Structure 1
Amino acid sequence: LSAHTKRQSIVRFNGTEGNAWIEPLAPFVTPDAPAKFQRVTQRQHIQNQMHAAEARLKDTQDKAAATIGRNSIA
């Protein structure tokens, strides 16, 4: 990929114990390429993802409601 290519990743850790630590592998973390994510347990990672998805859903619903409200006034 080039620096100009948009990239999206979906992180999933299927079958991992909830208390397992998820973190970048040491060989891939260097002073020139620091970790982009903090160490987190599998359980916390899933909870974080669920909270983020709920927030995005609410934001989408709020925007849709505002759009519908503006269109019904016109």
Structure 2
Amino acid sequence: MAALLSVMLQPYMPTISAVIREQLRMPEKANILTKEFRSILQSGHTIGNVSPLFQKLENDQIESLRKRFGGGQVSFVSS
């Protein structure tokens, strides 16, 4: 599943896709989608070292980002 997800993410999140492929030690030829939903990796394939793909945001980081990028709230008036 993770191998298929890495292929689907590639156009939208290329860096994350590359990290997943590296952690899975995916062969380059496995970087395609087919019409059949099937396993890309062979049975017995050994994966590499895994690590979190995303950093956990702490509350103070979230608040800082909210202040920096939040902007004003737009109110819509319905007629």
**TM range, normalised to the smaller chain?**
under 0.3
Q: TM-score, normalised by structure 1?
A: 0.25
Which one has a larger percent helix, Structure 1 or Structure 2? 1
Which one has a larger percent strand, Structure 1 or Structure 2? 1
Q: TM-score, normalised by structure 2?
A: 0.24
